[in-house]
Structure 1
Amino acid sequence: MDRARLRRLLARESAEAQELNPRSKAAYERADHLFGRVPMTWMNKTAGAFPRYLAAARGARVTDIDGHDYIDFCLGDTGAMAGHSPDAVAAAVQRRFTELGGATAMLPTEDAEWVGAELTRRFGLTRWSFSLTATDANRWAIRLARAVTGRPKILVNSYSYHGSVDESLIVVGPDGRGAARPGNVGAPCDVTLTSRVAEFNDLAGLERELAHGDVAAVLMEPALTNIGIVLPEPGYLEGVRELTRRYGTLLINDETHTFSAGPGGCTAAWGLEPDMLTIGKAIGGGVPAGAYGLSAELAEQLLGRADLDLVDMGGVGGTLAGNALSVAATRATLEHVLTDQAFAAMDELSRRFEAGVRAGIERWNLPWSVSRLGARSEYRFAYPAPRTGTESAAASDTDLEDYLHLYMANRGLLLTPFHNMALMCPATTDKDVDTHTEVFGAALSELFG
């Protein structure tokens, strides 16, 4: 690749982005009272000098404050996998908040049992509790795992994604040992005191860490996502389950992103048998919601422990968790929007997207790869596709990603700013996917032609 040409094209696209978006630029420059000038500092992870500001969104479309419309393949980095403001969710939220009231009254609603039963149908775990984020679901699942096993450490895969959970910010270092993930902000202690780490797809490495006998739970994504999709090799997930059982370690599947694999995520699609499962983002249809599920046996063990404070200040729960509004939104999303039929259609669209990207890669004989996980597709600047998180992290190329993301955005398409991920929702169309194929091909032609 001609890096000088890449830099020229990136500079051109950056200048065009500033020319096209004066109102977003001005809004960013006057945001003096926000830490990092944005509501959350991760919103600065965007190609170009400033983020585009949201005006409206519906279905698979976003409009910014400069009046530009976009085909949205980002979809809130999974949070809007149901599409933006789906009608059924909007109606449920409207009814709960205005007609019935009591959005957060610290009282249960009958919707919660419906949601629990539906999550059981989809994922197999039989007892459920709610949170507002998947991060909190993971935190609370970790506490329960430590309580029931009496063990202190949690094992994660290098470069897996579990939100801002302290125990998960560990990677395999150059020497093959666990080390703090670069940039970890204000860690309460050395992460190796609380955590162990193994590469995804490395059963020998996993067994070596479990053999210490101090791991309460393996917290893992069935496929890595936020570092780029890394799919499990044949037999790997079965090996993880066998090893965790052999060493008396619980298995927690984090399906927050891998929910894209189908109505019951990878757990149902691949016949997995975790002891606990966590999920968030998409299940609320855009309203903050999360949940964790437990096997019946594990739930009974925990509820039978008189020494555990599960109803007050024991560290598991939050005042707004399981509130009536988020649970109503979750029911509407699962019952009417992210249905089995919707997932089948989203999967087909993702196959079409993958084929379009692959055609562009093959046309220019690029050493890149594209991977798909149900409704989610992603390309990496490496061939063959990375098999571990560390390999996937090494395949990143900031200038190249920024060029492609800016090129897309300047022509009306949004990808996830953290990586090259595209997600389908029930409102995405064949034409949307074909538009991406066309624009992606044009971007490659300018760079390599």
Structure 2
Amino acid sequence: MSVFDDIYALADQVEKGSTTELDDRARACRATKEMVQDTKALLESVRVQLSEGWHGGAGEAALKSLDAFKKNRDDQAQDLEESAKSFETIRDALAKAQQDARSKRADAQALQKKSDDGWHGFGIRPVDLAATWARDKVLKAEALVLLADLARVTTTYDAILLIEGQKLRFKTGQVWELAGSEKRNLAEIGAIMLREVPGLAALVAKNPELRDALLHGDWDKLMQNPEIAQKIYDYLGFRYNAEGDFYTTGEHSVQSYLGWRDFYDKLGRLGGMELDETGTDGDNMEFTDPETGKTYRLELWKGKYSNQAFGGEVGFYTSDSPNNNGHFNAAQGDDQIKVTQTIYNKESGEVYFTNDGQGADGTDKKHFWNLAIRTDPDVNPDQLGQRATVEVRDVGLRDRMYAEMVRYAAAHPGDHLTVTKGSDHPPTLSYDWRK
């Protein structure tokens, strides 16, 4: 197969995609959203009428169920709107990729014609043969450049498809039926990420300031470059929050695929992290829902991240069974929690920063992982304290989490962890960790 055949095959692959189908899915999401909102309005009307006549325990329970159902419609409408936006992002990316593919195909056809015309009817003199061969080599080299450019076009589209597809697959309700194919496996994700490395390396190499920033570990400088910042967010989920002067992470990062295993903490230590961690002795904050059998794990971290940064994390993970061989999934859907985390100086009381749920998709600020890291080499990790307020979906989950945190605090007095219950509407608890 010639280089021209490779170009045409790759262009064919891109052009098979249907922007019309993606547009239809976006419109279907919004149409369903309108139906959901109409249902919510009807529920509200019914609830108002029933509340005037329903009294006592049974009536109040029924009204409470209607309230919960109405809230579920709000959540579903938000999911549908965000999913419509994801389909539109994929549609626009595909349209651009197809336009670029058509352009590269036309360029390749022009080059191939030049090559064919050059060989057609050449004389028998060696000088004619040599000149035609040399010209053909130049044209083939230009075709290889076209092939590389087209490969970058497909990689860019594939990356957007990966990120937006991940967002879609984590949605609940009717959005699952619109999400399409199965989740990518980790090997595919790794391959896509590795394909991006040469482009990022070239970007850094041709910019002396970026090259110097990389050599000195100056991530603030690197993240000021929009292209680098976007790639870091797309694949690792990290994004700079200018208002709070800290880095946080999105829900669709690679970490969301990996879930949690205890040996990840060991990898962190190998990477130069000096962190206080819950569960270092094998006793973790875990509890099980007696009705569903689902097991939950709460993880806390705070301290030094390499020689240049400090901060903290609150992670929440789930498993369908206690027998999970040590692996937990990143919390999704209703299992996600809303966390407001503050990192402060235990000695002076100075507050360094607060992450009130930045990084979460949508507006509910619910996430599986509240992370906040600031670059500053001069902060002593031994002086760091972490306090947080955690909001969960219902009182039962809150009470089980509270009981487990109290148990853990009593079993680990050196952690200096204090826990208090908050309100029931919404269900919250707060803690202060001064290890």
> Where on the TM-score scale, by shorter chain, does this alignment land: which range?
under 0.3
Structure with the bigger percentage of helix: 2
Structure with the bigger percentage of strand: 2
Structure label with greater radius of gyration: 2
Give the TM-score, by structure 2 length.
0.26
